[in-house]
Structure 1
Amino acid sequence: MRVLAVLGLSLVVGNAAHAETLYYGGRAGMEVTVVKKSNIGTTHAKIALKHTKANATAFCRDYVQKVTPKCIADEMKVSLLTEISANCKTGKFVTANGQGYQFLGSNTQYDPTAFNTEYLLVEVGSNEPLDGSSASGYDVALDQFKALCPNRAQ
């Protein structure tokens, strides 16, 4: 019985140490922790997020390359949503930054040797697909969509 209790404790600690994260920005360490997932792959897909002190510390360490109380405090002030959501049928989704996008599917003009994207993502209210550059936020938005609607973009 004692062995089972110790094993159970190590599993809990192991899971906490390896919590799932999602990027909210394109710089190293710009991550939030996944708290809960619900209705993944449906018209009401949701992922609850928390920007933790560990996330902020990772940003300071990996991007700023100096972990200080000020850096951590400044990073904790970043305004992010506590939930991302998607309608996987229509492809419309909202990112951690509060930006609305629509996933339009595979890019029929995709060429891995050219500067274009494998999938088409457009900002809500725009007809122009994101260009795939880090400045456009394509990778971050696509990763969040994939977490919400894994069967749409494989």
Structure 2
Amino acid sequence: MRIAATIGVLLLIGTAAHAETLYYGSRAGMEVTVVSKSNIGSTHAKIGTKHTKANATAFCREYVGKVTPKCVADELKVELLPEISANCQTGKFITLNGQGYQFLGANPQYDPTGGGTEYLLTDAGGGDPLDGTSASGYDVALDQFRALCPNRARK
């Protein structure tokens, strides 16, 4: 009985230490923990997340540079959706910040030596593609889309 309990604790520790995360912002440590996945790569792809104390602590340590109870509490107050979703066929998806985007595919003008973005992403309502800067949210949005629709936007 003790051996089974010990193995169970070790499995939980190993799982927690290697939990999958997703970035919700461009700053170091702006991550949430993935708690569920369903229909990945389909017209109803979903990933459930939780913003944990460990995530908030990592943000305070890695970005703020100091872990304090106030920093952790403030970080846990960041409003995020508990789930992201996508229609991998149409490329429409919703991020953790509640922003709607559309993945339009490979950028025909992409130059791996520094010209443009590899893929085209626009706001769900249309408009110009995101320019690839951290201010545009391109990397964070693309990573969330890749998690939902890995066959559409390969790394």
Fold conserved between structures, TM > 0.5: yes
Matched-pair contact (CA < 8 Å) for 2:20–2:34: yes
Alignment of 1:73-112 (within 5 A): 73-112=73-112
Q: TM-score, normalised by structure 1?
A: 0.94
Gaps of 5+ in 1: none
Q: Secondary structure at the match of 1:15?
A: helix
Letter in 2 for 1:71: C
Q: Secondary structure at the match of 1:75?
A: helix
Aligned to 1:151: 151
| Percent identity of paired positions between Structure 1 and Structure 2 | 76
Aligned to 1:70: 70
Distance in 2 between the 1:70 and 1:8 partners? 33
Distance in 1 between the 2:134 and 2:56 partners? 21
- RMSD after superposition: 1.4
Distance in 2 between the 1:103 and 1:62 partners? 30
Q: TM-score, normalised by structure 2?
A: 0.94
Q: CA distance change for structure 1 residues 10 and 86 in 2, over 3 Å: closer, same or farther?
A: same
Q: CA distance change for structure 1 residues 6 and 95 in 2, over 3 Å: closer, same or farther?
A: same
Moved over 4 A (4+): 1-5
Matched-pair contact (CA < 8 Å) for 2:109–2:115: no
Q: Secondary structure at the match of 2:13?
A: helix
Gaps of 5+ in 2: none
Distance in 1 between the 2:11 and 2:69 partners? 31
